[in-house]
Chains A and B, each alone.
Chain A
Amino acid sequence: MSTPHDHLYLVVVGHVDHGKSTLIGRLLFDTNSVPDGKKERIEAACKAEGMDFEYAFLMDALLEEQAQNITMDTTRVPFRTPRRQFTIIDAPGHKEFLKNMITGAASADAAILMVDASEGLREQTRRHGYLLSLLGLKQVVVAVNKMDLIDYDEKIFARIRTELTEFLGKLNVQPAHFVPIAAKHGEGILRTSAHTLWHRGPALLEALEQFRATPPIEGAPLRLTVQDIYRFDARRIVAGLVEAGSVAVGDPIEFHPGGKRSRVKTIESWPASNFRGPIGAGLPVAITLEDELFVERGQIGAPPTAVPVEAREFTARVFWLHAEPLRVGDTLPLRLGTQQADARIVAVSRVLDAVTLDASLAPATEVKRHEVAELRLRVRRPIAFDAGGKIPSLGRFVLMRGRRIAGGGVIDSAVREDAGRDDTLPVTPASRTTLLGHRGAVIWLTGLSGAGKSTLSTALEQRLFRAGILPAIVDGDVLRAGLCKGLGFSDEDRKENIRRAAEAALLLADAGAVVITALISPFRADRQLVAELCGVRGVPFAEVFVNAPLAECERRDVKQLYARARAGQIPRFTGIDSPYEPPLAPALELRTDLEPVEQSLEKLFVLATSLAHETGTPFADSGADI
């Protein structure tokens, strides 16, 4: 009979062709776990493919897999030794099938990491190693396979052990054992091979029997994931899963997000009834409540004294599986437990090469397929979770693209945002930031008439808007037709024009918008003044030089202004008979004569989003007296 927690889910991972499926096949054959007739069928299949006997075919059952001698999708097989029961999960090693590897590995308690002794550590050896750590798998045995190909050489074995121990050490994974084997020949699996008498540790099967199934988390408070509310009859049944802790009739219970509170009135069970609990971790549950609360799918039931975190913004480590990269500004459905909410990628703090463990230093704008990254995400409405691995199932989530899971992540911590929560507080810049998910900023485009300021400003406006950032444009021509009507082109009037433009931009930025100004603003001193004004008001500011040579602007002459200026119809025209003073140290210089609009736009977008998410105490000195 089953005794508690004796069943182990074991995944076999590692680089393609390193012998994972062969090992499982061999394990099953050598322990007499294969039904009669199977061997003959595999022999026939191998013959049809023109191969020697392949133990891997026991796992690789698809015709396509056998034809290419590769595992495409993950398989699970039951396996039992006199001492314990296993479910062995075969994972594909080819990079192309990483999504299937994760599908297999995510539910495992323990792992065998396979390394081909003749090849040593390869790309997926390391990537799978990294993913094991991200998936929270701490019990690992390394099987150094194909020892026959290196004449069971102890030195090569030791070198692989050293190298892999160092790599996994950085990931906080300490393998319990390194075991030399030759899976194909059944060496080192049930007992230590006669060829490796130098090996001090256990044979592979002994090592596996030492693993423990993941026990429920000790002493954790109740976490009841609500799956659904049933009203089949007069009862209003809250159905879900006890992820941690336990629940019994009479317990006070609070539902998050939201925080509505009641008590457990009944536990609804079938066929037995009148069960009062407690119902422990890992079990399904259906309860009714003492009060008529509006509880819904996605909420988490918890004791009022130990509720989960509720937040809209958090940092997380994410692995990405979709062919289309995950970009800053993307909004996609996030699922955590039974909660679903649209999440926006606020920032990519760094992208990690899961193979070399090298991190990009600069913040990136996208995460490509198979990369791992640290992100900041923001959900449209608050979600409830437990961060930092306390209750693992409530601290991890998936991101959807279309109908598919496109990536998975583990929450590190919530980003605090107390401001704006309490509705007795006045509206402050910080509470606006909370509402919008970003802060206001001023991107000041300067450059000759025709350099491309208006084109870029409207393009950037669109791009920001799509990314969920509120944009606004302050355009020179529009100002001159309204707010600055009556101002001419004397140095004095130009200065006043810029001052008014800056004030208008600041009003919008204070309200939370990312403002893009498009004014020639030819004088350094005037622009300096704008920068100072923004500094005083605590609004992030960046000067962008939209640069095209005069000749090019004059050639473009979209509004025919250069022609008229040359004809003497427009006096004091910048570039013709009034000077343009280029910025000395712009945040960005865009050569619109040399690069396509898309390229300039991308640079602008990166700049704008980094300003919009600039942290620190932005509004500290002057926020109060706006």
Chain B
Amino acid sequence: MTHLDELESQSIYLLREAYHAFGKVGMLWSMGKDSNVLLWLAKKAFAGHIPFPVIHVDTTYEFPEMLEFRAWAKQHYGLELIVHVNEEARARGIGYETTDPVTVTHELKSVALQQVLGLHKFDALVTGIRRDEDSTRAKERYFSPRNAEFEWDYKDQPPEFWNHFTTEVGPGEHVRVQPLLDWTEIDIWRYCDQEKIPLPGMYFARNGRRFRSLGCMPITKDVPSTATTIDEIIEELKVTRTSERAGRAQDHHERNAMQKLRAKGFM
């Protein structure tokens, strides 16, 4: 058994536990590489059938190419897709043109997520976050409870061991199920390669640049790269000295910006 087999096995175990434990599960899908790995794992966990809806929180600042991929994948995988926009915030004029990126991220992602959760009464949200992305994500649990105010009580997280998790929530609360926590960026790429998982073309170099992580258009920067295949991407990652989310402005706004965002419900 390879390390990828171990990771895949653990993720599938977590997905099945979540589906069993909770009444209404939803899976977040941003069309990015981690999200697509998540879809793939769900297909495997449930013998080719994804038994819960897939949610895209659309900030309205999505790359057109990603939206094209969304339409294609919905068809290809037969997804039950929920697309949600925080229309109220957009109507108030919240946007990157007028507002700082932390507020925009909070409104168009965290608050939007809260809205879609309330609308569909989800008690579990499957997300594709990984520990190696950010040092507060490194502190996460596989099953991580959020209170009715959406807050993460990182100071007193429930114990979790021997494959036993927090599987009950109170009214209005939900659990973030995080099957990719133990994966690294390179693991994700190796797995995409091994399984031949379809991905948006923006991850691969064109004209000497590629995207390493995909978020909102105005705050996501591409990086110089010549990697046009997964093998080349992996070779590049082995020697890179920059962090994956360096191109995401909202993470670096102030000291521990991510911790503050995440405590209030951001992924």
Contacts and interface: CB of A to CB of B under 8 A. Distances in A.
Interface of A: 1-7, 35-38, 41, 44-45, 48, 58-59, 61-64, 72-78, 85, 87, 99-100, 102-103, 106-107, 216, 227-228, 230, 232-233, 235, 237, 239, 241, 268-271, 280-284, 286, 297, 321, 335, 337-338, 393, 396-398, 403-405, 408
Given A100-B159, A283-B9, A36 B46 contact: no
A230 B157 contact: no
Contacts of A4: 1-2
A321 B47 contact: no
Given A61-B135, A73-B139, A87-B182, A405 B43 contact: no
Contacts of B51: 230, 232
A36 B210 CA distance: 19
Contact of A286 (B3, B47, B154, B256): B47
A44 B256 CA distance: 11
Contacts of A62: 136, 139, 154-155, 256, 259
Contacts of A45: 255
A61 B134 CA distance: 9
Contacts of B184: 78
Contacts of B162: 106, 393, 396-398, 408
B192 to A, nearest CB: 14
B117 interface: no
A269 to B, nearest CB: 7
A36 B131 CA distance: 18
A36 B157 contact: no
Given A38-B243, A283-B1, 17 more contacts: A2-B3, A2-B4, A4-B1, A35-B246, A59-B135, A61-B136, A62-B256, A64-B155, A78-B132, A230-B46, A233-B49, A282-B5, A284-B44, A286-B47, A397-B162, A404-B159, A405-B164
A63 B256 contact: yes
Given A73-B154, A404-B166, A405-B158, A270 B1 contact: no
Contacts of A48: 255
Task: List the 3 closest pairs (A to B, CB-CB), nearest first.
Answer: A61-B135, A106-B161, A270-B48
Which of under 10, 10 to 19, 20 to 34, or 35 or more describes the interface residues of B? Answer: 35 or more
B135 A75 contact: yes
B47 A270 contact: yes
A393 B46 CA distance: 23
B16 A239 contact: yes
A514 to B, nearest CB: 34
A77 B17 contact: no
A205 to B, nearest CB: 19
A81 B59 CA distance: 40
A592 B179 CA distance: 59
Contacts of B9: 241, 282-284
A73 B157 contact: yes
B241 A35 contact: yes
A227 B9 CA distance: 13
B20 A398 contact: no
B160 interface: yes
A499 B50 CA distance: 71
B44 A270 contact: yes
Interface in B1-29: 1-6, 8-9, 12-13, 16-17, 19-20
The interface centre, meaning the residue of A72, A78, A241, A282 with most chain B CB atoms within 10 A of its CB, is A78
Given A37-B246, A228-B19, A405-B158, A216 B1 contact: yes
19 contacts: A2-B2, A4-B1, A44-B255, A61-B138, A61-B139, A62-B139, A62-B154, A62-B155, A73-B154, A75-B138, A107-B161, A239-B16, A280-B1, A283-B1, A283-B5, A284-B45, A403-B158, A403-B168, A405-B161
Given A4-B2, A35-B242, A398-B164, A232 B47 contact: yes
A282 B246 CA distance: 35
Contacts of B45: 239, 284
Contacts of A74: 139
Contacts of B159: 99-100, 102-103, 321, 404-405
Contacts of A75: 131, 135, 138-139
B33 interface: no
B163 interface: yes
A77 B131 contact: yes
Contacts of A100: 157, 159
B132 A77 contact: yes
Nearest to B161: A106
A335 B190 CA distance: 35
A37 B242 CA distance: 8
A227 B17 contact: yes
A2 B194 CA distance: 12
A239 B4 CA distance: 20
A511 B262 CA distance: 59
Contacts of B43: 270-271
Contacts of A282: 1, 5-6, 9
B141 interface: yes
A405 B47 contact: no
Interface string B239-254: 0111100100000000
A598 to B, nearest CB: 32
A398 B161 contact: yes
Given A62-B139, A405-B161, A227 B20 contact: yes
Contacts of B241: 35-36
B51 to A, nearest CB: 7
Contact of A232 (B1, B49, B136, B166): B49
Contact of A241 (B1, B13, B181): B13
A335 B241 CA distance: 44
A408 to B, nearest CB: 7
Contacts of A297: 20
Contacts of B166: 403-404
A73 B140 CA distance: 9
Contacts of A36: 241-243
Nearest to A240: B16
